[in-house]
Copies of this chain bind each other. A is one copy, B any other.
Amino acid sequence: MSSLNVPHLQRLKSKRVVLASASPRRREIIRNLGLNFDVVPSLFPENLDKSTFREPSGYVSETSKGKALEVYQRLKDENCPVDLVIGLDTIVVIDDRILEKPGTPENALAMLKSLRGRIHSVYTAVTFVYPHEGGSKVRSFVEETQVEFANISDQVLQAYVDTGEPLDKAGGYGYQGLASFLIKKINGDYWNVVGLPTCRLFQELETLCEANEI
């Protein structure tokens, strides 16, 4: 099967595009679109003070911006300028509380218990940084998907924790993995839950190219 032959993706093929994320899932989704890119994981510390943001979407947006800007500046300093850096961050939010990667089985179980039978939100923020009039320009957007967990018993949640999958997943689950049986429904873009809002990204790249911004 061939990749998608549309003007803005063709135009981007002649540019140096950098993905500021180490996530293999994100890499796969972007490659699926037919985009050529390099991967330069960001060194941005991801430790913004959450209490200074009125909304979780503000926090995730600033983090994606921090990641993209760090990579853009570093490559510029190393005399490897690029045409576009794409920075991303994904968070899982319930009751205005941001759930990180659980790290331990105990934390994973507690997180999953707080999610079962309820609706929570997954936000992914995307930031573009690109050269503009001698300096650089920054554009960000945030996409939200609501996720409803089924009412799963303690025993089944424990069995899921025992598989080891939850430990390194924000919110303690991977919808693309074993956790598919935990999730009753979603409202929004599925790929946004996996870490990259494909439909919106495609449109934003089109807008950028049509406006001759890159």
Contact = CB atoms under 8 A, between A and B. Distances in A.
Interface of A: 1-7, 29, 32-33, 145, 150, 155-156, 159-160, 162-165, 175, 177-178, 180-191, 198-199, 201-203
A175 B190 contact: yes
Contacts of A180: 29, 32, 190-191, 198-199
A32 B178 contact: yes
A120 to B, nearest CB: 15
A70 B155 CA distance: 36
Contacts of A7: 155
Contacts of A182: 199
Nearest to A160: B4
A202 B149 CA distance: 13
Contact of A181 (B160, B175, B186, B199): B199
A1 B186 contact: no
A190 to B, nearest CB: 4
A203 B183 CA distance: 11
Given A181-B198, A186-B190, A190-B186, A163 B3 contact: yes
A181 B8 CA distance: 14
